[in-house]
C-alpha cells in the first residue's frame, strides 16, 4: 500500500483476519519506505487495534517484498499465524555502546530459560557498529539459529530505524524469539558475486568498521587501481556492485564500502586486521544457478512461509530483473521481506553480518498438513530463469562471461608459471629455490616431535659419463637417476640441488631408517640398467636436524657427509658419525 489510509481500508475490509481463539501467536512485520516516525507509530497502533495479541515489529527499507513481488516506496505488512509456536519480543538500545546493547539483549532472552527454535533480529545497522553488537550478543546467547537484517534507507539523507511495541529504535535492535517443539526453520543464503582480483591482506585498520591499509597501501587505492573508481562524491554509488570478499575460516563474507575518509574505506560490517580479501563482482550466471538451487531446496521442505532479507545492492545491480530472484519462490509459499543495509545469519559456526547477500528463511510447523502446490513440479525442473532481457543486465551477463574466461586463463597461466618457477625442467623435480623453501619450512616446524633430515645424493664420476657418452645421454641418465630417487623416497621431497647433486628433504625423520633407505637406493642405482649400459653409482650423505642449526649449518653438514662418502671411495653412504 502507499499510505496509512490504504492500510486502514484494507484492514476494515480484510477477510484474512483470523479468529485468535485457535492461534497461539501472531507475528506482524511492517516494511516501510516511509521514515516518518509518527506515521510508523500510527500504523503500529492501528494494527494493534485489529490484532490485540500480535507481536509487531518493523523497519525502514531500501525496497519492499510482498507476495514475492518487489516494490519501491511502499508500505508492506506481513502477517504470520502460528498454531503451536510461542513468540516473545525483546529490544535494546544504547547509542555508542553496542557491546552493552548486544549483551543486554542476549541476557534478557537467555533469562527466560526457554528452549529457543530461532531468533529474528532487526537492527539499525546503518547507525551502529553491527559487528560489535552481534559479537557481544553471540558471546552470551551461544549456538542459536539467528536470522534478520539491518534497516534500509532509500538515500543517505533519510532516517533509518527499527520499531516495535510503540518504540522507535534509531540506535538499537529488536528480537523476536520463536519457541516451539514443532517449528522447523531452514536458512539459506547466497551472494552470486564472485572474486575478481588477486588475494590481498588488510594490513591496518583504524577501527572494526574502517580499513586504513591493504597490502600496506591506502585502502581506497584498490578501487582506483583495479576499477578506476575515484574517491569523490560518487564513490559509494560506483562501488556498490564491487564489494570486498573477506575470507573468514574458508567462508567468503561480502563487505561493501559505504564511503571513504582520509583514503580509508568505511563499512557497516566488521573488518579485521589480517583478513585476506578480494574484490568481487556480480555474476549473473552464478546468481541464476544459486536462485535455482534455492528454489529446489525450498520446495523440498514445503514451507508455510518464506521471509527474504536481500541486500539493496542486489536490487541496484539487477534492476527490474530482481523480480526473477524473488517471484519464483512465491510458487512454493507466501513470501515477504525487504531490501536491507546488511544481512544477519547465525548458526553453530557463529553469527555474521553480511552484505550483497540474499537470505531466505523458510518456516513451517512440522505437523501442519501443507497442501501440495500445483506448480511444484515446475519448480523441481532444472529450468533457467530468463535474465537476458536486453539492456544493462544483458551487457553485465556478457561481461561476466568475459571476466570469468579471463580469470580462468590467468589462473591457468599463473599455475603454469608457478610450476616453471619451482621445477627443474630436465628432471621434473623441484629446483634449488623451491627445495630451499622446503628446508626452511622443515626448520621452522622442527620440535621434539618433528626432527627434519636431509639426504644429499651425487652421481659418481658424472663428468666421465658426459665425456664418454655425450651430454644428451648424460641428461637421460640424470632423469633415470631422479626416477629411482623418487621411487624410494616417497616420504621426502626430492629436489635438484645443482648439476648431478640432489637433495631429499624429510619434514620428520621419526621412524625412518634413513641409512637403510640410502643403502637401498645406492644398491638399486648400482644394479640399474641405465641408457647405453652406462655403469652408474652414487654417493650419499645423511644428517638429522639439531637445535640451533641454521639452514646454512644444516646444508653444510649434509654436504660434509657427502664429501666424506666421495673422498673415501664413492658408492657409499656416510652420516655425521663418519666425519
The C-alpha atoms of residue 119 and residue 147 are separated, in whole angstroms, by: 6
- Evaluate whether 149 touches 354 at the Cβ level (below 8 Å): no
176-215 burial, b if ≥16 CB within 10 A, otherwise e?
Answer: bbbbbeebbbbbbbbbbbbbbbeebebbebeebbbbbbbe
- Identify the three-state secondary structure at position 500: coil
In 3D, which of 26, 174, 27 has the Cα closest to residue 108? 174
Euclidean distance between CA atoms 474 and 479, whole angstroms = 9
Active site residue 501: no
Report in angstroms the alpha-carbon separations of 305 from 183, 202, 336, 392: 12, 40, 8, 33
- Angle, nearest 10°, between helix axes 98-110 and 130-141? 30
The three-class DSSP label of residue 538 is strand
Measured distance CA(186)–CA(304) in Å, rounded: 12
Give the C-alpha separation, 565 to 562, whole Å: 5
Which residues, including other chains, have CB under 8 Å from residue 125's CB and lie 6 or more apart?
A: 149, 150, 151, 268, 269, 340, 341, 342, 353
* Cell numbers 536470522: residue: 147
Report CA dihedral (101, 105, 110, 114) to the nearest 10 degrees: -170
Please tell me the chain's helix, strand, coil percentages from 3-state DSSP, rounded to the nearest 5: 35, 30, 35
Residue of 93, 104, 365, 500 marked catalytic: 500
CA torsion, ordered 570, 573, 578, 579, to nearest 10 deg: 60
Distance CA 301, CA 364 (A): 9
b or e along 427-448 (b: 16 or more beta carbons within 10 Å of the residue's beta carbon)?
bebbbeebbbebbeebeeebee
Please state, in angstroms and rounded to a whole number, the distance separating the CA atoms of residues 26 and 42: 19
Short-list 264, 260, 249, 246, CA closest to 355: 246
Distance CA 453, CA 259 (A): 53
Q: How far apart are CA 47 and CA 51, in angstroms?
A: 6
Residues sharing a CB contact under 8 Å with residue 260, sequence separation 6 or more, in sequence order: 220, 231, 235, 266
Instruction: Point out which residues pair with 490 in neighbouring strands.
Output: none
Measure the CA–CA gap between 436 and 552, rounded to whole angstroms.
Answer: 10
C-alpha cell at 481: 637417476
Cite the active site residues. 500
Amino acid at each position: 500500500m502507499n499510505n496509512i489510509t490504504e492500510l486502514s481500508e484494507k484492514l476494515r475490509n480484510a477477510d484474512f483476519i483470523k479468529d485468535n481463539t485457535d492461534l497461539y501467536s501472531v507475528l506482524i512485520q511492517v516494511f516501510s519506505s516511509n521514515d516518518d516516525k509518527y506515521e510508523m507509530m500510527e500504523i503500529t497502533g492501528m494494527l494493534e487495534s485489529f490484532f490485540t495479541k500480535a507481536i509487531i515489529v518493523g523497519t525502514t527499507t531500501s525496497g519492499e517484498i510482498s507476495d514475492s513481488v518487489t516494490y519501491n516506496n511502499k508500505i508492506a505488512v506481513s502477517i504470520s499465524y502460528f498454531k503451536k509456536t510461542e513468540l516473545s519480543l525483546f529490544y535494546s538500545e544504547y547509542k555508542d555502546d553496542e557491546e552493552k546493547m548486544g549483551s543486554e539483549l542476549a541476557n534478557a532472552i537467555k533469562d527466560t530459560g526457554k528452549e529457543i527454535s530461532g531468533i529474528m533480529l532487526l537492527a539499525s545497522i546503518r547507525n551502529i557498529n553491527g559487528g560489535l553488537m552481534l559479537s557481544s550478543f553471540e558471546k552470551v546467547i551461544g549456538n542459536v539459529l539467528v536470522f534478520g537484517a539491518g534497516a534500509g534507507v532509500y538515500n543517505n539523507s533519510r532516517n533509518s530505524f527499527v520499531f516495535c511495541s510503540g518504540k522507535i529504535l534509531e540506535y538499537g535492535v529488536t528480537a523476536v524469539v520463536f519457541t516451539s517443539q514443532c517449528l522447523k526453520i531452514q536458512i539459506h543464503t547466497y551472494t552470486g558475486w564472485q572474486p575478481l582480483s588477486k588475494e590481498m591482506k588488510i594490513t591496518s585498520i583504524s577501527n572494526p568498521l574502517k580499513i586504513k591499509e591493504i597490502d600496506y597501501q591506502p585502502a581506497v587505492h584498490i578501487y582506483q587501481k583495479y576499477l578506476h573508481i575515484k574517491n569523490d562524491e560518487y564513490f559509494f554509488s560506483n562501488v556498490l556492485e564491487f564489494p570486498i570478499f573477506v575470507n573468514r575460516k574458508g567462508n567468503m563474507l561480502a563487505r561493501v564500502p559505504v564511503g571513504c575518509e582520509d583514503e580509508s574505506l568505511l563499512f557497516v560490517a566488521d573488518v579485521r586486521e589480517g583478513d585476506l580479501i578480494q574484490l568481487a563482482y556480480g555474476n549473473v550466471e552464478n546468481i541464476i544457478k544459486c536462485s535455482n538451487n534455492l528454489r529446489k531446496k525450498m520446495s523440498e521442505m514445503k514451507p508455510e512461509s518464506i521471509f527474504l532479507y536481500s541486500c539493496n545492492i542486489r536490487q541496484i545491480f539487477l534492476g527490474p530483473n530482481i523480480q526473477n530472484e524473488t517471484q519464483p519462490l512465491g510458487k512454493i509459499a507466501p513470501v515477504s521481506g525487504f531490501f536491507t543495509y546488511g544481512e544477519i545469519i547465525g548458526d553453530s559456526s557463529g553469527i555474521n553480518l553480511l552484505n550483497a547477500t540474499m537470505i531466505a528463511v523458510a518456516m513451517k510447523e512440522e505437523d501442519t498438513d501443507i497442501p501440495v502446490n500445483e506448480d511444484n513440479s515446475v519448480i523441481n525442473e532444472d529450468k533457467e530463469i530468463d535474465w537476458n532481457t536486453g539492456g544493462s543486465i544483458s551487457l553485465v551477463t556478457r561481461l561476466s562471461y568475459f571476466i570469468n574466461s579471463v580469470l580462468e586463463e590467468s589462473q591457468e597461466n599463473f599455475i603454469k608459471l608457478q610450476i616453471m618457477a619451482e621445477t627443474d625442467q630436465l628432471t621434473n623435480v623441484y629446483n634449488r629455490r623451491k627445495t630451499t623453501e622446503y628446508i626452511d619450512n622443515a626448520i621452522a616446524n622442527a620440535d621434539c616431535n618433528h626432527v627434519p633430515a636431509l639426504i644429499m645424493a651425487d652421481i659418481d664420476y658424472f663428468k666421465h659419463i658426459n665425456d664418454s657418452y655425450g651430454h644428451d645421454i648424460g641428461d637421460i641418465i640424470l632423469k633415470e637417476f631422479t626416477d629411482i630417487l623418487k621411487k624410494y623416497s616417497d616420504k621426502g621431497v626430492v629436489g635438484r640441488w645443482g648439476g648431478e647433486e640432489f637433495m631429499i628433504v624429510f619434514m620428520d625423520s621419526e621412524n625412518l631408517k634413513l641409512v637403510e633407505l640410502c643403502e637401498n637406493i645406492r644398491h638399486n642405482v648400482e644394479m640399474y640398467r641405465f641408457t647405453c649400459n652406462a655403469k652408474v653409482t652414487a654417493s650419499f650423505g645423511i644428517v638429522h636436524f639439531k637445535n640451533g642449526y641454521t639452514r646454512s649449518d644444516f646444508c653444510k653438514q649434509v654436504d660434509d657427509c657427502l664429501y666424506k662418502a666421495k673422498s673415501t671411495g664413492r658408492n657409499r653412504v656416510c652420516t655425521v658419525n663418519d666425519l
